[in-house]
Structure 1
């Protein structure tokens, strides 16, 4: 199973680069760095911890 690399922040619709900084919960809800800070690291959907999403390099 691969991680879904969602292209936009679920809260503000900011575009997220595959090699950029983004934050996800265990359900793969995805947020930009600014929303992560405003949400204080807690997913508003599941109340789980938001962690830095790994980057994926395109080849």
Structure 2
């Protein structure tokens, strides 16, 4: 499961789970301003930075997600 990091790895700006954030395939995480400064290229791995997908709201029946980790 995708780790929803809570801060930009470059400037330490707080990033709420629903905030606009950008990640590479290694889950390096950056705010929009830093991503723009990096021209959407991760400074750690040279991978493409893309918009982090939002995490869906929890379902009323949480038992349906219990088997995802199995």
Q: TM above 0.5, one fold?
A: yes
Larger helix proportion of the pair: 2
Aligned to 1:29: 28
> What is the RMSD computed on CA atoms of the aligned residues?
1.0
Relative to the length of structure 1, the TM-score reads 0.92
Unaligned runs of 5+ in 2: 59-70
- Runs of 4+ deviating beyond 6 Å: none
Number of equivalenced pairs: 58
- Structure of greater Rg: 2
Contact 1:19–1:57 (CA<8 Å) still a contact in 2?
no
Asked if 2 retains the 8 angstrom alpha-carbon contact of 1:18 and 1:57, the reply is no
Q: 1:58 to 1:7 in 2, by over 3 A?
A: farther
User: Separation in 2 of the partners of 1:17 and 1:56?
Assistant: 11
TM normalised by structure 2 equals: 0.78
Work out which structure has the larger RCO, using CA pairs closer than 8 Å and 6 or more positions apart in sequence. Answer: 1
SS at match of 1:36: helix
